[in-house]
Amino acid sequence: MTEKTSDILKENNLRVTSCRRDVLATFIGKKVALSHADLEEELKENFDRVTIYRTLKTFLDSDLIHKVLDDSGTTKYALCAHDHDEAHHDHEHVHFKCEVCGNTNCIQELNLPKILLPEGYISKETSLLVQGICKNCS
């Protein structure tokens, strides 16, 4: 996993550090949206909360992760699923929150339609959260 995470960081022009590798490996391993607290709990033996926060900010700024809409009021993040050679719009797909396990997943197969706003309005992000029971819990 260390080689895979290092390659992903290098492809995104990010310096390879142990925290960045471990945060990325956690996203890859969990395959669900994670909050700062989730990552802190998982990685608390090796990294403090500020280091994890800075890593998340770097990943956001580098377009490696994106914020996920969730009804809990907690900001969650998920890996972006796109080729960095192409333009993408991670904010235009659907998120699904399971009422049983509580996990929030990106549903990349469903894209939201472009919403045309009245003149003078500027759209920065469009999101949709579907709640129900995921395939693992049904």
Ranges of each domain in the chain: 2-132
* In contact, 47 and 31? CB cutoff 8 Å: no
Q: What is the pLDDT of residues 74-116, one digit of tens each?
A: 899 999 875 544 444 445 778 999 999 999 998 888 888 888 9
2-132: CATH topology: Arc Repressor Mutant, subunit A (1.10.10)
The per-residue pLDDT for 44 is 94
* In contact, 23 and 12? CB cutoff 8 Å: no
pTM of structure: 0.82
C-alpha dist (Å) from residue 22 to 36, 39, 110, 135: 13, 9, 29, 27
The per-residue pLDDT for 86 is 45
